[in-house]
Chains A and B, each alone.
Chain A
Amino acid sequence: MRRIADRIATFLLWTAAIGVLVLLAFFIGYIVYLGWHAISWHFLTSPPSEVDAGGGIGPEIYNSFYILILTLIFTAPIAIAGGIYLQEYARPGWFTNTVQFCAESLATIPSIVMGLFGLIVFVNLLGWRFSAIGGALTLTLLNLPALMRVTQEALASVPDSYREASMAIGATKWQTIRKVVLPSAIAQLTTGIVLIAGRIFGETAALVYTAGTSVSAGRSAYDLNPFHNAETLSVHLWYTHSESLVPDASAIGNGSALVLLAMVLLFNIAARVIGRTLTKRLTAT
């Protein structure tokens, strides 16, 4: 009797696990199948069209990367510095507890709520209207906790014996962190950053009402001005589905979904490859 229950349970568990894998494979396959025809050089580089068929996603791809880089520029210094402080310097106490609580809360805030905060502060209060920098700052707030956690984990993986050896030679704490701990943690840290970059690339809800749902027309579509509105690829996918008037909205959506998926997979693979390369370099030299 017990044997049979055991067998059934094992069977169910295996089914669940394989089911998840099959689901994933199916999703990827389906998106590729749907979007494959829509992809063309023209599609990837031309601007979107308001009314006619044949629009592309060129500026949106550009904006996705632009906002990604802008967000990382803001997030990385603050998050890494905060992570170093929490992991290497902070003593248990009310301040550390408060920081942890705030970081955890920031991480749980729904992205649309953060988007509304961005709407209040960046769009209205500071008068920037829809802008790339407004979107980037909002995304910074969303991703700070994740990058802080990545930093802390990377630092924790460095053995204490390195810290001891360094301090015993008469280095200060900051020298130890800068010259021994951080370099040892860099592989894990970089992997984490690339994975977070992938998440930023796909972020939508927080950007809809901060970076906007349209691209600047004409010559300024590809510019470096952070104060122009900047619809990203993911926002475009949503907007196409819900508001678009063009007859080939479906095809555009399929193509956009495929490009988004491809980018995320690329980021995932890059994270692993970079991580592995850096780790090899670290232990070899």
Chain B
Amino acid sequence: MISVRTRAHAQEAVARALLFAASAFVVVAMGAIVLYLAIEGTRLFFHDHVSPLTFLFSPAFAPDEGHPGALVFILGSLAITGFAIVIGAPLGIAVGVFLSQLAPKRLAEFMKPAIEILVGIPSVVYGWLGLTLLAPLVREHLGSLTGFGLITAAIVLSIMILPTVISLSEDALRSVPDTLREGSMALGATRWQTIFNVLLPSARSGLTVAVILGIARAIGETLAVQMVIGNAAVLPKNLFSPTAALTTEIVTDMGSASTGSILYHSLFSMAFLLLLIAMGLILAIRLAARRAS
């Protein structure tokens, strides 16, 4: 009997060590990613002696002349993300409210797989839809020249972030205790007043997280945007101008960038910048969550 007990204990120790190693791997991987991207991403500054200020704030993107200003792309990313959030966040939260408060059970159950499918559609397919469906519409009905530009990209993006915002808002609203809703209704408030004055404020932190994750998804989206944004490295004049974003620029030009060139290094600097933005968003989420408790 003693030997059996020892074997089980030995297995326990081994299992514990392996499981620990697996979770430690996550930390190691993240560290490696930050490290390598930092090294490659700062070559532009240390090796090619380009000033970070030039990189961040100059609107002229001319790497062949040693002047890779990424402002166009930074603003492009911010613009499409901003518009996508303006369109997609209220819509997503509205559907989240609908699902948690209004929807009859059968409909809610039907919408769940529908939203999962929306999430599952690959971004290339969204891009393709934007290309074949949306761009012609924009071209014909809104007077844009090619149909490719800021607004097209923003619309495609807003649809892509919908599922994320919907399901997170729904979760946030469901987790508000029923007693709050009942208390409000018992005081004579209408359903909409209850939603607006009690439920939405109570779910504020969860909704904030939903929006921040929507932002994260939007800023990181590459191919769908690249297929409809026009890929012109110029600041947009209006909503219909072709422009570019950080992610789209990387995927467009990386293929033709020769290793070690200034273009190559500036693309990596853009990648590093995106990495920092992603980590910053995670911190923002943690802060929002902490404020809740």
A110-B220, A116-B37, A237-B125 known; 15 new pairs, CB 8 Å cut-off, are A3-B190, A17-B107, A20-B91, A82-B25, A85-B20, A172-B8, A202-B124, A204-B123, A205-B247, A208-B255, A238-B227, A241-B128, A264-B120, A267-B120, A268-B113
Interface of chain B, helix or strand or loop or mixed?
helix
Number of interface residues of B (CB under 8 A): 86
Which of A17, A82, A112, A175 is close to B247, meaning CB atoms less than 8 Å apart?
A: A112
The reply to whether the CB of B26 lies closer than 8 angstroms to some CB of chain A is yes
| Total A-B Cβ pairs within 8 A | 246
Chain B stretch 21-66: residues in CB contact (< 8 A) with chain A = 21-27, 29-33, 36-37, 40
- What are the residues of chain A within 8 A of B281 when measuring CB–CB? 108
Q: Are A116 and B12 in contact (CB under 8 A)?
A: no
The reply to whether the CB of B133 lies closer than 8 angstroms to some CB of chain A is yes
The reply to whether the CB of B118 lies closer than 8 angstroms to some CB of chain A is yes
Q: Are A105 and B279 in contact (CB under 8 A)?
A: yes
Q: Are B222 and A205 in contact (CB under 8 A)?
A: yes
Chain B 131-150, CB-CB to A under 8 Å as 1, else 0, gives: 11100000000000000000
Alpha-carbon distance A114/B95, docked complex (angstroms) = 32
The reply to whether the CB of A199 lies closer than 8 angstroms to some CB of chain B is yes
Would you give 24 A-B contacts (Cβ < 8 Å), ordered by A? A6-B191, A20-B111, A21-B111, A24-B118, A78-B22, A85-B19, A85-B20, A105-B278, A106-B29, A108-B220, A110-B274, A112-B222, A113-B220, A113-B250, A116-B254, A117-B33, A119-B254, A121-B32, A172-B11, A202-B124, A208-B255, A234-B124, A241-B131, A253-B128
Most buried by A among B111, B120, B193, B275: B120
Enumerate the 4 nearest inter-chain pairs by beta-carbon distance, A residue then B residue, closest first: A202-B122, A110-B220, A81-B22, A85-B19
Q: Are B36 and A14 in contact (CB under 8 A)?
A: no
Chain A stretch 86-120: residues in CB contact (< 8 A) with chain B = 86, 89-90, 98-99, 101-106, 108-114, 116-117, 119-120
Evaluate whether A16 and B120 lie within 8 angstroms (CB atoms) in the complex, with A30-B133, A82-B26, A202-B125 already known. no
The reply to whether the CB of B198 lies closer than 8 angstroms to some CB of chain A is no
Most buried by B among A84, A105, A253: A105
Q: Are B251 and A141 in contact (CB under 8 A)?
A: no
- What are the residues of chain B within 8 A of A2 when measuring CB–CB? 190, 192-193
Q: Are B123 and A105 in contact (CB under 8 A)?
A: no
Q: Are B114 and A13 in contact (CB under 8 A)?
A: no
